[in-house]
Structure formats: structure tokens, C-alpha cells
């Protein structure tokens, strides 16, 4: 395994309430020096696969500013400072789908464009759901869409299901359930 490049200098270029863009001056083991930029997020995020039963996943449809349209996907949210992954997952499904989970299990950790984005998403399977609606920070009510995992192939044909993390999490869940 190669040695990681040595960070010679780090400078914050831009900072918002959600992200920070950093410039890194690096020296690789072969002596080459170069400059990278990276987007640094908060502590990370949770993406929850809430199962009402072994075949019914609860999806949500909410406005996505990045695509400027309503998108279908899984509930998700930032991990607040000091929060544990599973506690953050349970909080998010209570806020977004109106259920808590009696059993939570982390299935995977996903990255997005790791060459530029320092953000991790923790995929959490939520089972043994019970009704529990908590107030969240959403500006409008989120539509909850139950969908059979056995019809995942049809779900992939939906024009408004485009988020790669949600798609990956659904396949990871189906694979996990098939091996139980």
C-alpha cells in the first residue's frame, strides 16, 4: 500500500452553514507537489431504509433544491454534533416518516465523489417500526410512499428516483434480507 501524500498547507476558501471548501497543497511520495480542493461536510449523514414489513419500504417524496424538483428517495439527514449514527437515524425517520424503529442496524458506509467530497453517508436499516411523529425542520409535510421491495425493478423506472445513495441502499437492503 502506498503512503498517503503529505499535506503541506490547508486553507479554507469558502465556508457556509453546511460545507467548507478547502485548498490542500500536497506532496506525494514520488516528490510531486500539487494542489487539490475538497468539499468538507459536517459529521456526515444517515440514510435510512425503514421497513414496515419484510417487503415494504417507506420512501419519501420531497423537494430537492439541487435538481429543482420533487424527488423520491429514502429519508435522510445530517448527524448533529455529538449524536450517534443510530440515534440520528431514528430521529430522522420520526421526523420524516412518522415512525420510530425498535431495531436499527448499520448496513454500510457510502461516499460520494471521494476525490473531492469528504462526506460519508451511513446506511441504516430500520425495522420493528412503531408510530412516532416528531417535528422536524422541513418547510412542508413530506409525502410518504410505501413501496414493495419485491417490485424494486419497477421503482427504478420512476423518473423521480435518481439519487444514487437511495438506489444503492435499496439494493444493499435487498441483498441483506436475501441472506438472512
pLDDT in tens, 81-119: 788 999 999 999 999 999 999 999 999 999 988 888 888
* Residue 44 confidence (pLDDT): 86
Gyration radius from the chain CA atoms? 19
Whether pLDDT at 33 is above 90: yes
* Residue 40 confidence (pLDDT): 83
pLDDT in tens, 162-174: 999 999 999 999 9
- Phi and psi for 113 in degrees, rounded to 5? 45, 65
Higher pLDDT, 137 or 145: 145
Which residues neighbour 80 within 8 Å (Cβ) at sequence distance 6 or greater?
43, 88
Tell whether the torsion through CA atoms of 145, 149, 150 and 154 is positive or negative.
positive
Amino acid at each position: 500500500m502506498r503512503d498517503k501524500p503529505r499535506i503541506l498547507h490547508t486553507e479554507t476558501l469558502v465556508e457556509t452553514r453546511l460545507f467548507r471548501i478547502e485548498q490542500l497543497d500536497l506532496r506525494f511520495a514520488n516528490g510531486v507537489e500539487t494542489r487539490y480542493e475538497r468539499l468538507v461536510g459536517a459529521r456526515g449523514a444517515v440514510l435510512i431504509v425503514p421497513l414496515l414489513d419484510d417487503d415494504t419500504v417507506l420512501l419519501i417524496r420531497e423537494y430537492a433544491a439541487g435538481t429543482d424538483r420533487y424527488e423520491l428517495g429514502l429519508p435522510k439527514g445530517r448527524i448533529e454534533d455529538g449524536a450517534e449514527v443510530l440515534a440520528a437515524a431514528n430521529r430522522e425517520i420520526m421526523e420524516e416518516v412518522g415512525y420510530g424503529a425498535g431495531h436499527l442496524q448499520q448496513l454500510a458506509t457510502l461516499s460520494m465523489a471521494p476525490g473531492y467530497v469528504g462526506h460519508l453517508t451511513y446506511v441504516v436499516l430500520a425495522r420493528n417500526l412503531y408510530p412516532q411523529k416528531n417535528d422536524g425542520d422541513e418547510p412542508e409535510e413530506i409525502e410518504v410512499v410505501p413501496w414493495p421491495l419485491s417490485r424494486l425493478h419497477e421503482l427504478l423506472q420512476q423518473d423521480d428516483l435518481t439519487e444514487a445513495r437511495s438506489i444503492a441502499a435499496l439494493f444493499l437492503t435487498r441483498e441483506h434480507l436475501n441472506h438472512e
